[in-house]
């Protein structure tokens, strides 16, 4: 399985690619380093996420404009346009999605100048994939989207028994911890 590459976002006929709704969260990874982009995509896909990749901000912004993503993971330093510029375009277009910015340094000046960056989650390079996965799992809800088909278990053949009130086991004391 491989991530969908978005550097040439339009196909030969000049049409945007079709996206199919599946049950996994969709993540767009924007990274100019081929190896890191591919490894990140593979780790995320192995963890059950649907991943698309872009190597620059222009391809990423086009993809975000045409399709829904549950999370954006972007590098700070990209060719032609920075990750900050990508986030500025997203903000000006009134698009909203959780963002992780991978960076080798803390862009304090940029964050002070641009209030729209305050909601961005920073992941400092070099990072472990375990740390990336933890951050992704904290940002993405674990509930199923309403647009997904959910198969419910069959109804029981007999009525369920009424629940018994909870009774504390004797000999155990409870107290509130401060």
State yes or no: pLDDT of 22 exceeds 50.
no
What is the tens place of the pLDDT at every residue in 89-138? 999 999 989 999 998 887 788 778 888 888 899 999 999 999 999 999 99
CB atoms inside a 10 Å sphere around CB 90 = 21
**Residue 170 falls within a domain, yes or no?**
no
Q: The domain that contains 107 carries what CATH number? A: 3.40.50.2300
Listed ranges 19-23, 44-48, 105-109; the one with the highest mean pLDDT: 44-48
For 68, the token pair is: 């829904």
Q: What is the pLDDT of residue 73?
A: 97
Host domain of residue 57: 4-8+25-139
User: Structure pTM?
Assistant: 0.67
- What is the rounded CA–CA span in Å between residue 109 and residue 170? 60
**Residue 150 falls within a domain, yes or no?**
no
**Residue 82 falls within a domain, yes or no?**
yes
Q: Please give the average per-residue pLDDT across 64-92, as a whole number.
A: 93
Q: What is the DSSP string of 69-107?
A: -SEEEEESS-SSS-HHHHHHHHHHTT----EEEEESS--
Q: Which residues of 26-42 are buried (b: 16+ CB within 10 A; e: fewer)?
A: bbbbbbbeeeebbebbe
Q: What is the pLDDT of residue 148?
A: 46
Helix, coil or strand: residue 49: coil
What is the tens place of the pLDDT at every residue in 139-153? 997 544 444 444 445
**Residue 162 falls within a domain, yes or no?**
no
Q: How many domains does the chain have?
A: 1
For 101, the token pair is: 């910015």
**Residue 158 falls within a domain, yes or no?**
no
**Residue 134 falls within a domain, yes or no?**
yes
The owner of tokens 């000049």 is 14
**Residue 15 falls within a domain, yes or no?**
no
**Residue 169 falls within a domain, yes or no?**
no
């Amino acid at each position: 399985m491989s991530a969908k590459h978005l550097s040439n976002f339009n196909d030969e006929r000049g049409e945007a690619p079709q996206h199919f709704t599946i049950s996994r969260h969709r993540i767009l990874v924007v990274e100019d380093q081929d190896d890191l982009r591919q490894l990140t995509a593979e780790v995320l896909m192995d963890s059950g996420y649907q991943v698309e990749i872009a190597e620059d901000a222009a391809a990423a912004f086009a993809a975000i404009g045409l399709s829904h993503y549950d999370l954006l993971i972007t590098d700070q330093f990209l060719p032609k346009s920075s990750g900050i510029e990508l986030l500025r375009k997203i903000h000006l277009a009134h698009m909203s999605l959780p963002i992780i910015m991978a960076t080798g340094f803390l862009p304090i000046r940029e964050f002070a100048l641009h209030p729209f960056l305050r909601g961005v989650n920073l992941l400092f390079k070099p990072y472990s994939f375990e740390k990336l996965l933890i951050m992704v799992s904290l940002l993405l809800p674990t509930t199923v989207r309403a647009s997904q088909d959910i198969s419910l278990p069959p109804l029981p053949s007999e009525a369920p028994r009424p629940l018994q009130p909870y009774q504390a086991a004797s000999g155990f004391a409870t107290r509130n911890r401060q």
